[in-house]
Amino acid sequence: MKLKKFSFPLIISALAIILAGFFVLNSILFIPNVKLQKDKIYIDVPEKIDVDSLTKILSPYIKSQATFKLASKIKRFTKPHPGRYAIKNMMNNNNLINLLRIGQKLEVKVTFNNKNSIPELAGAVSHLIAPDSLALLKAMSDRNFIKEKGFTPDNILLMYIPNTYRLYYNTTPEQFRAKMWRAYGQFWNAKRRSKAQKIGLTPIEVGILASIIQKESTKASELPRIAGVYLNRLKKGMLLQADPTVVYAYRQQYGKDLVIKRVLNKHKAVDSPYNTYKYAGLPPGPICMPDIQSIKAVLNPEKHQYYYFVADFNKPGYHLFSKTLSEHNLRAGQYHNQLNRQGIYH
């Protein structure tokens, strides 16, 4: 009878303890802990991070760091999954931890153009996906990969077609490289390869020439005509004598930040395979990352009998085209006189 006498109070106490525990557990796991000024924000979680470091990243966006850490212990959450996460307003610790534990396949847009080298491209991409620039550069400069895909260190930049790509934030350097190789194959389809063959160039040679004409003019309407000039020179066995290649070669040897407004004989004398005043044919690689517009201009050149062109001083950005050297020399002389009058000597 004594056992029965004390059983009811014990049951009440036990229930009270259970209810209290349930209340505490509920408050730790299921009461909203994320407080934002908007519907959602994005956070980046690096690799090999612990819960304490993750809590510091989350601290501007959660009301209680203590309950987040307690919830992590309750759920045995010790290894956050690296990546970019969309954190929504009013999320509770339970949902937040579940998200960070399993990882989130969050897509990001990666857009690039006008990059002049692989290191420059790696630096730009590193701001958009998780790997840092050194990891990307190592993968992109892998000589075995470069050779396997039919490129050289001089022309591997051409594998990266300027465009906008959708990638997962936690894409690895190797996955990024593979994605770009697939995009290159899709761009250089049978139709474009056939056009390249008709003008006597490989896709890589098209890219190299496209990089030159891109540096020659910013006017889209002129690009096919300039492409026609250089193709005419190549067919006739003439030196390309492209000023942008001279500028590129000179800067490579004497300083990439040099400002060259006027190509002089000292620039043309630089000994480099990129100097098309000294070496016949195309240089060994692109002088910049050619955009799609420039590549299309080479594949669809204007057919004409022009072999020369010079900047039109009266129409900045445009050029005057000539069929004969004498006509070109006359126009070039007039242009240089204009530069002298403007005080532009280098």
Mean pLDDT, residues 83-100: 92
pLDDT confidence bin for 255, thresholds 50/70/90: confident
294 pLDDT more than 50: yes
Q: Residue 81 has what pLDDT? A: 86
Q: Does the pLDDT of residue 113 top 60, yes or no?
A: yes
How is 177-227 classified by DSSP, letter by letter? HHHHHHHHHHHS-HHHHHHHHHTT--HHHHHHHHHHHHHH-S-GGGHHHHH
13 falls in which pLDDT band (50, 70, 90)?
Answer: low
Residue 18 reports pLDDT greater than 70: no
Q: Do residues 292 and 162 make contact, with C-beta atoms less than 8 angstroms apart?
A: yes
pLDDT score, position 14: 61
Query: Which of the listed CATH numbers 1.10.8.60, 2.60.40.1180, 3.40.309.10, 3.30.1490.480 matches domain 27-102?
Result: 3.30.1490.480
- Per-domain boundaries in the chain: 27-102, 107-187, 190-341
| Candidate from 79-83, 101-105, 274-278 with smallest mean pLDDT | 101-105
What is the rounded CA–CA span in Å between residue 100 and residue 102? 6
Of 19-28, 29-38, 125-134, least confident by mean pLDDT is 19-28
Average pLDDT over residues 130-154: 96
Which two tokens mark 306?
Answer: 């022009």
Q: What is the share, in percent, of the chain residues with pLDDT greater than 70?
A: 92
The pLDDT, as a whole number, for residue 25 is 77
This model's pTM is above 0.75: yes
Is residue 21 predicted with pLDDT exceeding 60?
no
Average pLDDT over the chain reads 91
Q: In this model, does residue 111 exceed pLDDT 70?
A: yes
pLDDT of residue 3: 47
* DSSP annotation of 129: S
> What digits encode the pLDDT tens for the residues 312-340?
988 988 999 999 999 999 998 888 888 78
What pLDDT does residue 19 have?
57
Other Cβ atoms less than 10 A from the Cβ of 53: the count is 13
Q: 174-212, pLDDT tens digit by residue?
A: 999 999 999 999 999 999 999 999 999 999 999 999 999
Closest CA to 249 of 287, 298, 282: 287
In 3D space, the residue among 216, 186, 217 whose CA is nearest the CA of residue 203 turns out to be: 186
DSSP string, 223-276: HHHHHHHHHHHHHHT-----HHHHHHHHHHHH-TT---SS--HHHHT---TT-T
Residue 28 to residues 16, 71, 336, Cα–Cα distance (Å)? 18, 6, 77
Look at residue 219 in the predicted model and tell me its pLDDT.
95
Query: Average pLDDT, stretch 44-69?
Result: 94
What is the model's pLDDT at position 10? 63
What is residue 46's predicted lDDT score, i.e. its pLDDT? 86
